Structure 1
């Protein structure tokens, strides 16, 4: 009912406006002295002219638009509707002239066209301004005043989205931007109020309750600086996700989230060669082992975007495979998915899987990776990380897989932990296979990923949520960090660059002190370290180093055509020792920690040399 009432109002106002336009056009044409015959012609045809324009307006959809959101396309519709009405009315006027009466001059219709565009368009855009003014003031009374940091495309998208909301929760007040050229300018009717150092003053002046950082492509350093400026203000701090999270380029309020530690550690967005990646993934059968894990599941999500023929989701845990299979089934209904509950240590099952599906590309992400846990379960680490890698790599060789990529770790460099040593041996397996196989074998080595299961970030979050304390092993402990999507993008790019035998090393940026990471997370949660939440040092755990490395002292590094990916030149593998290692491991029923260390020392002589003075003979 309200819709028809609104339409009736618009029709009545339009009828008045088109007649005003005609009369004003006559008045202007004859300098305010309209000849009687022309006025009589107008009166005799006014009803017909009015009907023609109203029908034209209806045909162009002017009565079915929400004018509070009027845009340039709506203005073009008005111009089209007025123009169509003018042409029809000119035709009617000349047809009427044949009856011997006085027609209206053609210049009157030209002037009337311009006046109609102004009056009809002006009325509708005034309606928009009126409604938006009412909405704005209504929201200002009920909503939260918001300051947007960044007056670029992302900031404009955030302002547009907030203005178009119907829930009245947020009211954008203005922008902050460090570009001097943008100062005192306006964007969507909102002013640029100052630079980042003005934020505390603006929060006080405009009673800002929420600050949204809309700068998705800036480095983490800039985000950290802005967070430090905003933190003392007490305003709630939120952020637009990074570019890699905005897949479709569209911004919605649901995507604006609280600032996370990942935002503070972020670097420049990863640039990948989409054409090169598509060349080896599109219309191919791709296998991901460990597909239910943090890295494996993200690999599956990103691979699915490149239209593979089939995606095999291999994992040992049924629940995690069920979850990623369901997610991809909903997101990519046309993609053929093959969930496979298989243990990589089971050579027969792995071989059967390869024979049935014949994958073209394999990403081997399955691994035991928790350092302290593997210290207590050394044999399981060996069986899963080394024997499992050997099984999958051997099956890939036997089935002539085109590309095999091992997901390795910086803990494989000068390893002191069982987990790190097993991953270094897995790299050796890949290096050795590359020498004798037509399959392109490669490994990708990188540091910690933020948000993965068992990493410090989710642990710190739980500790903060429970009121502390936050536990850190050592005040000088440092680690390299990378976001999961960022790491996976580089892994896929490295796979496209592989030619056989490479160990790719990802640029991890600068190492981060774990204690500083803990302090940052406490502050982001609204607390003060040492006052509200205590930080407790618990001591270095078995197998941990104070800092990780990406290369050994003997390894050199070569650059690649990608600025964030490098190639390590590792020491050559002793084939006889590696084959002996695999033979012993394949036949062993169980090994103690001492036996496992002794076996690893046969391949990595310096591994725990200071701890174990003798090399046990195993096998």
Structure 2
């Protein structure tokens, strides 16, 4: 027995051609065996071939095997064998049987019963089908003990297709289904029992369940969140099904089952798209997106292409980031998902000459300004570059937008601009004030290419400027979600800056939707906010991700846990919590999830001289001077260094 198992395992190491020849030889032998059984049954005695009967024995493999080859039976891989392959086998044997019967009836040998032409193909089909089924069972379940014991939550069509996909996965054992539909509970699907949700805890412990796979694509986000919460405390890994096309193809492995999405971690309904609001402002337009290769910029580009603009200008100073988003959008275009002209432009928004050339050549109608340095510690260490990019890159675009009569200009901002403790947040608040001040001013904003006298002349701004401010974006570069997943995969520890640190969260898709809606709703000088619900503690998010991975947190209460959470201390410029509003009360808009804020800002005649001083300090990278000027420009701004000095006093 041991030697036969060793031989069978050795087959897996053979070259593909050798495996095909082995199966062909097996079918050769089974065709002869089927013929012997057919004669034996027909003559009611063990058969010994004589005379022309030898020729009939030889005919069986000579007719069957070429048909099997042409029908592709030896291209199929046993570990992915399913109903489709068995149907192809049955059709091939049926053609063989018809051919054999025709030959026997035409030739009409006296010592060969005609019924053999019917019996032998039926027996041959049983032998071939059994060999395929046994081979599949051995390959999928006999080569190793299952390391994953699975339950599928959802006994609908998606759950059934998921079960079919799992059947082809080695080292896994499907134990049953869980469903909250009373009509399905207690029944079985392909021999697997359907359990009620209340039976889950007992099932997990008694059946040693390791994974629960969610196959509930049609339920609402609220119901999905309730289901996840109900199983989160169980020691199992919770994952969601991959695309059904992957399941049907037979290429899926257990690792292809996806981790729960960011929306599941947030536990709230995502913002729905609103093409009726956004579309009229983008259809047939020439739209510019700065920072197009970044997290927010790239998502803006994706969504804008579906609103049928005439041309999309992709602006980024990173060659690789620009190449990546351009190629992705080209693939979408090939699939006919959009039909706009895509123009990738390597450019730095701080370069007046380069951006002036872009405006002159392409004449955009709308601008979505997402280009910015956003990483708080990085900007804190490179204050001059952060100010030049975030403040004066924005001012450069604002000036060009006014000179070129751009219809809409939307600035992507951040909650870190509210009472900032870091240079990045303060720089974004200055950029916000520039748009607010210019929208209310009757003077042209200064620019190196504009004569000083022209800057003092009265003018009327026709560009609608608006600002959209939101919290942390999950899944973006620098987001905690990919970092935590990587740390969990590596066995920990998870690093959190402070046990009390909290943040507002939203998905990249939600952020992009809000930016587009802001552009559509803007009247001029608007500052829009998203109703993001309650902030979330980062430690709570880390614990939730550990639990949903089927692991436990290692702490004082559970010293034998799997993943430890360690606190590294707040980074330079980082706050314990973020705010979305400087003023106390936002105002509602036509959209239930979008609010409008009215916040104090310095008028342009006060702001412009401070900007000149700030630009000089940024060019010389005088960090102390930059902070001093920012304190004059941004009410509530205090550097972390200043906070520490105040604490010492």
Fold in common (TM above 0.5): yes
- Would you say the 8 A contact 1:158–1:252 is kept in 2? no
Aligned partner (choices 606, 617, 630) of residue 600 of structure 1: 630
**Structure 1 match to 2:271:** 270
Query: What are the within-5 Å matches in structure 2 for residues 225-374 of structure 1?
Result: 225-229=229-233, 231-232=234-235, 234=236, 236-240=237-241, 252-253=246-247, 256-260=257-261, 262-333=263-334, 334-374=339-379
Shift of 1:226: 3.5
Mapped pair 1:569 → 2:598: yes
Name the CA distance, whole Å, in 1 between partners of 2:167 and 2:552.
36
For residues 433-457 of structure 1, what are the alpha-carbon distances to aligned partners after superposition, in whole Å with 9 as ceiling and x for unaligned? 3335212211111111112112222
Q: In 2, Cα distance between the equivalents of 1:147 and 1:274?
A: 39
Distance 1:574 1:517, change over 3 A: same
Question: How far, CA to CA, are the matches of 1:182 and 1:567 in structure 2?
Answer: 48
**Residues 524-563 of structure 1: matches in 2 within 5 Å?**
524-530=548-554, 531-552=561-582, 554-563=583-592
Is 1:512 aligned with 2:536? yes
Name the stretch that deviates more: 139-148 or 523-532: 139-148
Against the structure 1 CA distance between its residues 578 and 227, is the aligned structure 2 distance closer, same or farther, given a 3 Å change threshold?
farther
Give the Cα–Cα distance (whole angstroms) in 2 for the partners of residues 279 and 502 of structure 1: 19
CA distance in 1, matches of 2:508, 2:640: 35
- Superposed CA deviations along residues 163-210 of structure 1, whole A, max 9, x for unmatched, are 378845678665423355654467899764212x32233346667554
For 1:165 and 1:175, the matched residues in 2 are separated by 13
CA contact (8 A) 2:421 2:640 kept: no
CA distance, structure 1, for counterparts of residue 317 and residue 461 of structure 2: 27
* In structure 1, distance between residues paired with 2:551 and 2:410: 43
User: Is 1:447 the counterpart of 2:477 in the alignment?
Assistant: no
Output the CA distance in 1 between the equivalents of 2:149 and 2:621: 64
* TM-superposition CA deviations, 1:305-363 (whole Å, max 9, x none): 22221111111111111111111112213432111111111122112111211112211
Is the contact between residue 474 and residue 508 of structure 2 (CA under 8 Å) also seen in structure 1?
yes
Offset at 1:261?
A: 5.4
Count of paired positions: 476
Cα deviation, 1:538-569, whole Å, max 9, x if unaligned, reads 222221111111112x2421112222211112
Shift of 1:240: 4.3
- Shift of the 582–352 alpha-carbon distance from structure 1 to 2, 3 Å rule, reads farther
Go from structure 1 to structure 2 and tell me whether the alpha carbon gap of 1:182 and 1:432 turns closer, same or farther (over 3 Å shift): farther
Query: Secondary structure at 1:452's aligned position in 2?
Result: coil
Structure 2 match to 1:33: none
Query: Does the C-alpha gap of structure 1 residues 475 and 200 become closer, same or farther in structure 2, counting only changes over 3 Å?
Result: same
Q: Secondary structure at the match of 1:198?
A: helix
Aligned to 2:195, what secondary structure does the other structure show?
strand
**How far apart are the structure 2 equivalents of 1:603 and 1:290?**
26
Pairing partner for 2:526 from 498, 502, 523? 502
Aligned ranges for residues 178-193 of structure 1 at < 5 Å? 178-180=180-182, 183-184=185-186, 192-193=194-195
Larger deviation, residues 385-394 vs 253-262: 253-262
Q: Which residue in the other structure is 1:616 paired with?
A: none
Q: Which residue of 210, 219, 226 corresponds with 1:222?
A: 226
Aligned twin of 2:395:
390
Question: Equivalent residue for 2:151?
Answer: 147
1:272–1:490 contact (8 Å) kept in structure 2: no
Q: Secondary structure at the match of 1:602?
A: helix
Give the 3 Å change call, closer, same or farther, for CA 269–609 of structure 1 in structure 2: closer
Q: For the structure 1 residues 251 and 363, does the alpha-carbon distance in structure 2 shift closer, same or farther, using more than 3 Å as the test?
A: farther
**What is the rounded CA distance, in whole Å, between the counterparts of 2:439 and 2:231 in structure 1?**
47
Q: Which residue of 2 aligns with 1:103?
A: none
Please report the RMSD computed on the Cα atoms of aligned residues, expressed in angstroms: 3.5
Match of 2:35 in 1: none
Q: Equivalent residue of 1:556, what SS? A: coil
Matched-pair contact (CA < 8 Å) for 2:262–2:507: no
Q: What is the CA distance between 1:465 and its match in structure 2?
A: 3.9
The 3-state SS of whatever aligns with 1:238 is: strand
1:457 and 2:458 correspond: no
Where do residues 424-439 of structure 1 align in structure 2 (5 Å cutoff)?
424-435=429-440, 436-439=460-463
Q: 2:98 aligns to what?
A: none
Give the 3 Å change call, closer, same or farther, for CA 161–281 of structure 1 in structure 2.
farther
Question: Matches of 1:310 and 1:257 in 2, distance apart?
Answer: 35
Distance of aligned partners of 1:495 and 1:456 in 2 relative to their CA distance in 1, 3 Å threshold: same
Q: What is the DSSP-based 3-state SS (H/G/I as helix, E as strand, rest coil) of the residue aligned with 2:563?
A: coil
The 3-state SS of whatever aligns with 1:415 is: coil
Paired residue secondary structure (1:373):
helix
* Residue of structure 1 in register with 2:178 after alignment: 176
Distance 1:150 1:566 in 2: 38
- Superposed CA deviations along residues 201-231 of structure 1, whole A, max 9, x for unmatched, are 33466675542123453237425414414x4
Q: 2 CA distance for matches of 1:500 and 1:175?
A: 55
Question: Which is bigger in relative contact order (C-alpha 8 A, separation at least 6)?
Answer: 2
Deviation at 1:607, TM superposition (A): 1.6
Residue 526 of structure 1: CA displacement?
4.5
Equivalent-residue separation in structure 1 for 2:168 and 2:308 (angstroms) = 38
Give structure 2 stretches of 5+ with no counterpart: 1-81, 85-125, 441-459, 555-560, 644-649
The CA distance in 2 between the partners of 1:166 and 1:354, in whole Å, is: 58
Alignment of 1:480 with 2:504, yes or no, is: yes
- 1:418 equivalent in alignment to 2:447: no
Distance of aligned partners of 1:610 and 1:481 in 2 relative to their CA distance in 1, 3 Å threshold: closer
Q: Shift of residue 581 of structure 1?
A: 2.5
The alpha-carbon deviation at position 303 of structure 1 amounts to: 1.6
- Tell me how far apart the structure 1 counterparts of residues 187 and 320 of structure 2 sit (CA, whole Å): 53
Return the alpha-carbon distance in structure 1 between the equivalents of residues 204 and 377 of structure 2. Answer: 46
Contact 1:387/1:585 (8 A) holds in 2: no
Q: Give the match's secondary structure for 2:377.
A: helix
SS of the aligned residue for 2:506 comes to strand
Normalised to the residue count of structure 1, the TM-score between the two structures is: 0.69
Q: Secondary structure at the match of 1:570?
A: coil
Tell me, in whole angstroms, the C-alpha distance in 1 between the residues paired with 2:367 and 2:578: 27
Counterpart secondary structure, 1:288: strand
Deviation at 1:263?
2.0
2: CA distance between counterparts of 1:434 and 1:240?
A: 49
- The alignment's TM-score, normalised by the length of structure 2, stands at 0.66
Q: Against the structure 1 CA distance between its residues 274 and 463, is the aligned structure 2 distance closer, same or farther, given a 3 Å change threshold?
A: same
